[in-house]
Amino acid sequence: MTSAGPTVFHPDRAPHGPVPVAERVTWIGALDPDLRSFDIILKTANGTTYNSYLVRGSAGVAVIDTVKQEFTTDFLTKLEAVARYDEITTLVLNHLEPDHTGAVPELLRRAPHAHIYVSPRGLQVLRALLKDRFDDYTVTTVTTGDTVSLGDRTLKILTTPYVHWPDTQCTYLEEQNLLFTCDLLGCHYCDGRLFNDRVGDFRFSFEYYFDHIMRPFKRYVAEALDMIEPLEIDMIAPGHGPVLRTHPRDYITHYRRLITKRLARETGTQKTLLIFYVSAYGATAQMAGAIHDGAAESEDVRVSLFDLEGGDVAPFIDLIEEADGLAFGTPTINGDAVRIVWDMLSSLVDIDTKGKLGAAFGSYGWTGEAVGMVEARMQGLKMRVPERGLKIRMHPTGDELEECRDFGRRLAAHLAGRPMEREIDLSALLGS
C-alpha cells in the first residue's frame, strides 16, 4: 500500500542546486515555501518562488531577473554552479520590484562588467536601487524589438508596461521560443518540482494571483497579450510559480478569457448604472428607490438596485468592474459611512475604476458626513463624480423624493453623454 504524498511542497525534492529548464537555460531562483502573505495584502497558502534564469550563448551568458534580497546567497550559490561571474555579459531586468531585484547589487559587485538592460521606466528605479554605484555600471534602456545577442542565442525585448508596474517587460529567447514574463502569467505557488506538469494543482493560485495583481490592469494585460499571442511559444518562464512547459499557450488563452468582458452582449449599447445602498430606518432606501426610478426613465441606461444589507461584497465586484456608473447610498452613523460600504469601496482596489461615473447619497440625522466621505473615496479611485452628493435630513418628503428622481435622471444623462443643464442652488452653496 502506498500513501498519498504531499501535494503542496516537496522539501525532499526541492532543488538545492540549479535546475535545467531547456537547452542552455537554467533556473537559478529561490523557493520561499513559508511565505504566507505577499506585499502584505496577498495570501500565499503555498508560499512562492522567485524565479531567475541563466541563458548561455556562444558569446555570452545572461541572467534574467534575480531574487528577493534575503535569498541572495541561495541564488548566487546556484549561479556559481553553472557559470563564472566573469562569463556574465548580460543582466536583463524585466521588472524592478524588490522581489526580483533584491540580489542585483550583490550580483553586480561580483560581475561588474555585466551589461544591464531595463525598460526606460525601469531606469529610474534601477538608479534608486543602485544609489551611488549606478554610474559604475553599463546600462542600456530597451524597448520592443530591441535585441541582445549572446552569440548563437538572441534575447528579444517586448515592452509590456503596467503588468503590473510601469516598468514591466518580457524577454523572448528567439531560438528556443521561450518567453520570460516575470510577474505576468506567474503565480504564488511554491513546489520544488518546478514545472507545471509536475507540481500540485496550482490553478486556484494562478487565478487568485491574476485577480489581485493583474486584474486592475486588464487593459494593459490585453496589450501585452496582443504582443505575445503571435509568438511561437514552447515555454513560458515566469518570475513566480511553475515554469509553464506543457501547454503554455493554454495559460495565455486563460488570461485572455479572464480579461474579457462577460456582459457586453447582454447590455448591448446601454450604459450600466449600479445603485448600492444600506438603510437604517428606510430613509436612504427611499432615496435609492427614487434615484433608481429617475435613472431608469432613460432608455440608454440599464439601472440595477442592490440593498447591501442582503449581500456580500465579493459577488458584486465582477458587476462593478463592468459597470459604467456606481452610486452608493449610506446613512451617516457616528459621523461615518456604514462599514459594508467601506468594505465595498476598499475592494475596488482590485479592479480598474478609472473614469467610471460615481455618485453618493444618503439620509442623515445630525451631521451627514458620510456622503462627502464616500465621494472623496471615489475620487481617490479616479472615478469621475460630476454631481454633488445628495443628502437629505431624516425621511424624504415628496419634494425631496422628486429631487432624488432628478438626481437619478442626471446620473443617467451623464452616462448617456448628454449631461443636463443644472440649476444652481445658491442656498446649498452657502451651506444654509
CB crowding 10-42: b at 16 or more within 10 Å, else e: beeeebeebbebbebbbbbbbbbbebeebeeeb
Q: Binding segment for ligand FEO among 56-64, 93-101, 370-378, 398-406 (CB under 6 A)?
A: 93-101
| Dist CA 127 CA 104 (whole Å) | 12
334-363 positions binding ligand FEO, by CB under 6 A: none
235-274 positions binding ligand FEO, by CB under 6 A: 239-240
Compute the least distance from the CB of residue 225 to ligand FEO, in Å.
18
Binding residue for ligand FEO, selected from 100, 218, 377, 414, defined by CB under 6 A: 100
163-192 positions binding ligand FEO, by CB under 6 A: 164-165, 183
Q: Say whether residue 99 binds ligand FEO (CB under 6 A).
A: yes
Nearer of residues 213 and 404 to ligand FEO, judged by Cβ: 213
Compute the least distance from the CB of residue 163 to ligand FEO, in Å.
9
Nearer of residues 239 and 294 to ligand FEO, judged by Cβ: 239
Q: Say whether residue 95 binds ligand FEO (CB under 6 A).
A: yes
Asked if residue 194 lies in contact with residue 183, where contact means CB atoms within 8 angstroms, the answer is no
Q: CA 379, 383, 386, 389 torsion: positive or negative?
A: negative
Cβ neighbours of residue 147 under 8 Å, at least 6 residues apart?
154, 155, 156, 157, 174
Nearer of residues 117 and 361 to ligand FEO, judged by Cβ: 117
Number of residues that bind ligand FEO (CB under 6 A): 9
Compute the least distance from the CB of residue 36 to ligand FEO, in Å.
16
Cβ neighbours of residue 141 under 8 Å, at least 6 residues apart?
117, 118, 119, 120, 122, 123
3 state SS of 110: helix
- Size (the chain), residues: 432
Compute the least distance from the CB of residue 98 to ligand FEO, in Å.
8
Nearer of residues 213 and 337 to ligand FEO, judged by Cβ: 213
User: What Rg, from alpha-carbon coordinates, does the chain have?
Assistant: 26
The single residue listed with the C-alpha cell 457586453 is 264
Q: Binding segment for ligand FEO among 97-105, 136-144, 204-212, 271-279 (CB under 6 A)?
A: 97-105
Asked if residue 60 lies in contact with residue 89, where contact means CB atoms within 8 angstroms, the answer is yes
| Dist CA 160 CA 261 (whole Å) | 21
DSSP single-letter state for residue 389:
P
Asked if residue 89 lies in contact with residue 62, where contact means CB atoms within 8 angstroms, the answer is yes
Binding residue for ligand FEO, selected from 8, 97, 120, 249, defined by CB under 6 A: 97
Compute the least distance from the CB of residue 49 to ligand FEO, in Å.
10
Compute the least distance from the CB of residue 414 to ligand FEO, in Å.
36
Q: Binding segment for ligand FEO among 70-78, 95-103, 169-177, 321-329 (CB under 6 A)?
A: 95-103
| List of residues contacting ligand FEO (CB under 6 A) | 95, 97, 99-100, 164-165, 183, 239-240
